[in-house]
Amino acid sequence: MHVFILAGFSEVLQIQYFLFAFFLCVFKTALLAHMFIILLYRLSPSLHTPMYFFLANFSFLEICYLTNIVPKMLINFLSHLKTITFYGCAIQMSFFLIEASAECYMLAAMAYDRYNAICHPLLYNNVMGKTVCIKLVCVCWIIGIPIGVLQTSLIFSLQFCDSNRINNFYCDIPPLMSLACNKTQFNEIIMLIITFIVVIGPFILTVISYTNIIWTILKHHPAGMRKKAFSTCTSHLIVVSLFFGSGTIMYLRPNSSHGMNEEKFLSLVYTIFAPLMNPFVYTLRNNDVKNAVKKIIGEIKIVFRIIREKL
């Protein structure tokens, strides 16, 4: 078997054209938002803090995540064959697992940063120094690499039956295991163990961090500041719950219980819609970001005024 067929969402041509236009808009919006965050971080000295360092790295991770999945999906909307090669599928899965694992731990690292900022403000600069932040980001990526390589190796060591139709829009573990001829109990056990390590572990750390944050806000912050703090925490927890929740349901269910539409919907949530929402929840609603944007726009206006005067 040299190629797989990605089932996608619909066989109706008109619907595929609509989906292509829709997901192209989503893809461009998400990419531009994440690129804007990275550029803003680089151009604004006021944002050179641990929080925005993590957000800039998180945006870079999301760009990698999106560009690994969406371009092939968009191509298949306009293609009759909708194929992906055996090795292309393995590469896509490997990078997806590396990036998904790194994202889980990055979310936990970002929650830990907010925990230190709110619960231990006097020690914050010492605890979250530049070296510590760089190490945390590196650890997030390093954890993902062996997980991605191991899981991909195990899946592609299976013998696949006559059917080569993957019931999804990208190469993922559950739909590929359903194509295997031989028994997959060992693969399912490994997937459960890795899911607990990669998804459940960081999720628990994130929840603990936000629980302590909320408790500190209730105890030590005046009523006027609580509403703003709770609004931010709630938004973050919604995005975190969407990502971790959909991933947990996807990988902790028995292989036999995977439903076609449910599986694709869950995949959409954590591969496309969560990366689209993250910039608006984590960064673009933030007053520091708004002030940085106003400052840059003001500097650009001054430059244009000077150029106009010289001309």
Locate 170 and state its tokens: 């990208």
Homologous superfamily assigned to 3-310: Rhodopsin 7-helix transmembrane proteins (1.20.1070.10)
State the average pLDDT for the chain. 85
pLDDT for the residue numbered 98: 94
| Residues whose CB falls within 8 Å of the CB of residue 14, separated by 6 or more in sequence, listed in order | none
Tens of pLDDT, residues 252-276: 765 545 555 677 888 888 888 888 8
Q: How far is CA 225 from the centre of its chain?
A: 29
Structural domain spans, the chain? 3-310
| Residues whose CB falls within 8 Å of the CB of residue 10, separated by 6 or more in sequence, listed in order | 16, 19
Residue 192 in 3-state DSSP?
helix
Distance CA 12, CA 7 (A): 12
What is the full DSSP assignment across 28-80?
HHHHHHHHHHHHHHHH-GGG-SHHHHHHHHHHHHHHHHHHHHHHHHHHHHT-S
pTM reported for the whole predicted model: 0.88
Residue 62: which of 277, 226, 208 has the closest Cα?
277
Give, rounded to a whole angstrom, the gap between the first and last alpha carbons of the chain.
66
Position 231 confidence tier, pLDDT thresholds 50, 70, 90: low
- Percent of the chain, pLDDT > 70? 92
Position 132 confidence tier, pLDDT thresholds 50, 70, 90: very high
3-state DSSP helix/strand/coil percent for the chain, to nearest 5? 80, 5, 15
Instruction: Give the other-Cβ count within 10 Å of 188's Cβ.
Output: 16
Position 134 confidence tier, pLDDT thresholds 50, 70, 90: very high
Contacts by 293-297, CB closer than 8 A, 24 or more apart: 293/40, 295/44, 295/46, 296/40, 296/43, 296/44
Q: Do 118 and 236 contact (CB within 8 A), yes or no?
A: no
